Structures are given as structure tokens and as C-alpha cells.
Structure 1
Amino acid sequence: MKQIAPYLRVLAGLFAAICTWLAIVELINGDFGQLVVQLLFAAGLWYLALGKPIRDHLARVKVEQSGLAARAQAGHEAFLAGDPAAFGPPPEAPKPPPVRKGVIVASGIAALLVVVGIVSDIGDGLDNESDSAPTSAMNEPASAAARQAETAGRATMSAQPVPVAPVVAPSVESTTQAAPAAAPVVAVMPSVVCMNLQAAQDMIQAAGVFFSRSQDASGKGRAQVLDRNWVVVAQTPPAGSTVTEGEAVLSVVKEGEVGDCS
């Protein structure tokens, strides 16, 4: 059992790190019930992983301090008695037990697995350059229709004669007026219900509106940190309506929850 115990502590440390990361995720999402559960699991596993080494270290330090105090007292008494042994060097302190190489390798592998898991978990919710362009097949018809409409508009404009307006000098009053504000971007809201939140945002951007909002449909106010882990269950406005920047609101739940269209 003594040969296996160090490896069991490494395994407990691996699961303790995973539970700690899950607790951080639940804290970000605002789910405090699951946060408490994950913290309790993490505390128990950290105790199994580090409790015995810490206790052994503290006991070894206490024994060394007691030995030093006893040697100091014995040397003081020998010095008072005129014993020359009191001037001799004290014996060496006991060395800590060596750590086996297999335990060090197992600890390194466990730490690497935890880091890779955390990085991949965070990376699932981050946008990359390829995500900014529509890649799904359902976006292709909208893009093709937009290109055809743009081509037809250009052809119509080129076919009609362009009247030449007379040049009129601007008056003093017109020069003092502020320039008119640019017209807001208006697009047609696509149907994104039951889609992945990241894919839904990409599809709305492909329609012509860059900024859309999302909210937790459960009412818990959880933040959508990893967009690909959420599913759209309702949208405002409905599909086919006109929408401008910031007007698209997507109600979402996490994958695996009730109502996630599965």
C-alpha cells in the first residue's frame, strides 16, 4: 500500500484541480449552488492529495527543532561541567525521504492534462479568424441572394441616365448646419432558434448586423462565457423582421438543460 499511496495522492490532486476549475466556471456563470458543491469536492480532494505530505513535513520539522533544543541543552550542561565534547560539531539533521521519479513523472502528466483541459475549455468559447466569416451551408443562400441583389442594383443604376445637378453655392446658413447622421444599418432577422449561440451570432452578422445580445432564459442571470455551450431557445424580433444594431436578443440555455431542443 505504501508503494501505491503516492500515486493515489497524485490522482486525487488531478481531480481536485478539475473540481477547482469547475468551481471557477460556476462562479462566472453565477450558479452558487453548484459552486458550493464543487468547492466541497475540491477541498476534500486537496486534503487527500496534500494532507499527509504536509503533516509529515510539519512532524519532521517539529522533531528537528526538538532535537536541536535537546542538543543545545546537553552542550550547555557539558560546557558548564568542563567537558570538551561540548565544543564538538553537532550531528547532522535527518534528511527528508527522497521522492521517487515515478511520482514526479505522474505529477507532471497530471498537471499537463489539467492545463490542456482548461485551455481547450476556454478555447471553445473564443472566436478565431475563421469564425468571423459564415462557414455553414445555411448562410450560403443568403450570401448568394445578397450578391445577386447587389449586382442587379448596380446594373439598374448604370442603365439609367444620371441627371447633372446645377452647381449652387452654399449659403452661410447651410454651412453652419451639422452634417446629417448616417442612417442605421437595417437587416432581416434570420431564424436562429435551436442553434448554437456562436453559430446564431455568426448568422446574424452575415445578415448585416454585427452586434446582438444574449440572455439566460432560466432567469438565473448566468453569463455566456463559452458561447458554443449554449443553445438559442427564443429570439427577439422573430425571423423575417427588420433589425438594427443591438436589437437582436437571443434567449439561451446551456446544452443538456431542459428546453435545449435536443
Structure 2
Amino acid sequence: MHIMRSISRLLILATFASLTLPALIGCQSSRGTSTVTPSYVSLYRAGKYEQAYEAAKAFPTTYHGSERLIAGMSLAAQGNDQEAKTWLQPLMHSKDREIRGRAQATMGLILAKERSYKEAAQHLNNASNALSGPLKGWAAHYSAEEYMKAGDNLRAGRMQSVANLRGPITGASSSGGDFTVQLGSFSSRSRAQSRVRDAAPAAVSAGYEKPRVEMTMSGSRPLYAVRVGQFQSPEAAKAASAKFPGDTAVIRMN
């Protein structure tokens, strides 16, 4: 049994934004597209955000704007949100859907931190429209959260429906407590769902909600975590974890 702290939403999505960049930004040459990863991407993925920013800032401007995206995300990861927005803003209308979507998502989460709920929701909505796969669901889910905070329940419901269609990627409810029980962490959504099905009877028997799947990060690798319940203290969560077979962990939610 151990206690872990969840990574912040901003850093989760910012890290995701770099995961597939090498496939998007192969260096152009007269012989075609290479798969060489620019130094600013490698530095960012290594968590060296200050160096990644300097490398991206010095990189020649490209048609896709990946260097600008990494510069903005690196600044955001360091908490320099105002300068990050300056770098990200020109990418809001990028012709590259993946670059545009990641920039919109990062901008949306910055605005969410600033409690600009309506604007944050719209950026995350736009990000969901541009992105695909799990990232589409993530952006839609957080867009729904911000619409809800802005009092726009209709749009919140629509975006949560989009998130649900992209698979079982959910966030914990804002009520209940700061701790939850993690029943496993998996590299594939299908394995996580299998764990949800296996654990559901025990959860119902113990009087808890159905286990949920949340996307988390391990370094630069996305994982699907299966979690259940929300508790006021780690002791309460630890006691609840004993009701489930297999390895469990108590997670503090941010």
C-alpha cells in the first residue's frame, strides 16, 4: 500500500501534447521527411522545460509551428502562463489540426487556472474538435467541466457526451474527498475496462460507486488508471482498499 499524488491537469495535457510530435514534425529535406526528433522535443519530453524553451525559441520557424508549441508548453510547465499564451496564440488557427488542437488544449487549461471559465471551455471545445483519440476525449471532458463552472449546463452536457463517446476517460467528482483507491494502472483502455468489470461487484457490495477510468501519466507515457470512491482521509481510503482483491494504492487527487 502506498500514497501517491496525482499530476496536475495542465502538466498531463502538456505532456500528452509532446507524445506524438516526432511523427508530426519530421525534419524536411530535399530527400523527403526524416524522423529526426528536434532537440526541443527531446528536452521537453525529458522534463527540461527551461532548456526546451530556449532550444525551441532558437529554432528556425517551421510551417507547422511545433517549435512555438513546445516553447509555449515549456513556459506553461514552468508556471509562466502569460508568456506561454503569447507563444500559443498564433497557433489558435494553425492549419495543422494536431498542432492547433494541442495549443488550444494548453491555452484552455491555462485559462481554467485563471478561472476564465467560459473562455477556457471554448478553447477546450475547439481542441476537442481538432484532436483525435484519447486526447479528443480529454479535451471534451475538461471543456464540459469549464462550461459547468460557467453555468452553461447545456454545453457541458454536450461536451461530456463527446467525452463519453471517446471511451471511459473520466475525472473524479468535485465532491467527496481528496483521496481515492486505485485498483490498477494499465497501458490500454480495454485492460482498464476489464478491471472495472471485475471490480464492480466488490464496489457495489461495499456501497461504493462503480469504478471509473482516469488517464494519468508515468513520465511521458499515458496510462489508464482504475479508481473507486472518494475519501476524506488516507486512512479511510486505505480501509476501503481492503475490500478489493489484488494490489491497490491510495491516491491523493489534485
TM over 0.5: no
Using the size of structure 1 for normalisation, the TM-score is 0.24
**Structure with greater strand share of residues:** 2
Using the size of structure 2 for normalisation, the TM-score is 0.25
